[in-house]
Structure 1
Amino acid sequence: MTTSTPPLREAARAIVLDADDRVLLLRYDENGGFWATPGGSLENGEDHATATIRELREELGVDEKAVEIGPQLAERSKDHLVGGREVRQVERYFLTRVSAAAVDPAHATQPDNIRETRWWTISDLRAATETVYPVGLADLVEAVVEGRTPALPVVLD
């Protein structure tokens, strides 16, 4: 019996913080509903930072001039279905600073299946009864807000 590894799908995700250190999450209805950070797969020839900025424009209408990309904070690998086929998605999470006023979903060019956007405080994340991805986001955001940005990317579940 042989098992095959699903094809690799590289993705860039943004941990978007505003001036008040709130994190921006997007709500999706599929798989019972969940909240997640903005982001998506890399396009041909694209690096992770460029993909992060593009995804913020496509999903949230954020002008690239309004985005401050920081270090890679985390990485996560997960097998899941995309377009009906299984892939192994490897996500890199980047600290991104954006003013709340720069987020304009009405100007999003590819809002996918986003149902809602919301700014969350660390307390909101810790009290959440809904599913939030990635697991461990509250601890990671809290560390960054407290000035404890990880020297190397944290591996998330």
Structure 2
Amino acid sequence: MTPPPLREAARAVVLDTDQRVLLLRYDENGGFWATPGGSLEPGEDYPAAVRRELAEELGATDVALGAQLAERSQHHPVAGHQVRQVEKYFLVRAEAAALAADRATQTDNIRAIRWWTLAELRETGETVYPLGLADLIADVLRDGAPEQPAVLG
């Protein structure tokens, strides 16, 4: 059996000054919330992809990219095709005002944008990716960015 193709993706854990995290809602695969981001383009590195995705999805053109917080690798469907996705998550501190959905150029089927408190994230019954995001954010808020990126399941 041929292994699925590799899809590299860069994602942002966007926190505001109220320590809320920004998540995007998608309807595919039963509906879920996820951090902003997407696949790398040819020749692009992960930090450049995060910046491009934030501009495309949220109209954010001047973001301060922080440390890599985590990495996740898993098999899942993308546009109906199975892939092995490797995601790297980077910390981004941003004000809600710095994000302007009306400047977004590629909304990629985003159905909603919402800022979540850590308590809301822990209490929700909705599907949120990546799994373990609430614990990752709690660790960052308590200890700062990790020396080595966490490995998420």
> C-alpha offsets along residues 90-131 of structure 1, whole Å, 9 cap, x if unaligned?
000001111111111111100011000000111010011100
After superposing on structure 2, the runs of 4+ consecutive aligned residues of structure 1 that deviate more than 6 Å are none
Aligned match of 2:89: 93
> C-alpha offsets along residues 33-81 of structure 1, whole Å, 9 cap, x if unaligned?
1000000000111110010000000001111x2x111111101111122
AA matched with 2:83: V
Task: Give distance in 1, aligned partners of 2:74 and 2:91.
Answer: 20
1:141 aligns with 2:133: no
TM-score (norm 2): 0.96
Aligned match of 2:41: 43
Task: Give distance in 2, aligned partners of 1:95 and 1:34.
Answer: 21
TM-score (norm 1): 0.94
Aligned match of 1:20: 18
AA matched with 2:132: G
The within-5 A match list for 1:105-144 is 105-144=101-140
Identity across the alignment (%) = 63
Which one of 14, 32, 35 corresponds to residue 34 of structure 1?
32
Kindly tell me the number of residue pairs found equivalent between the two proteins: 153
1:55 aligns with 2:53: yes
- Displacement, 1:5? 1.3
Secondary structure at the counterpart of residue 106 of structure 2: coil
Alpha-carbon RMSD = 1.0
- Displacement, 1:150? 1.6
- Displacement, 1:4? 2.0
- Displacement, 1:149? 2.3
After alignment, is 146-155 or 24-33 more displaced?
146-155
Alignment gaps of 5+ in structure 1: none
After alignment, is 52-61 or 141-150 more displaced?
141-150
Task: Give distance in 1, aligned partners of 2:79 and 2:128.
Answer: 22
AA matched with 1:58: E
Task: Give distance in 2, aligned partners of 1:69 and 1:116.
Answer: 23
AA matched with 2:20: R
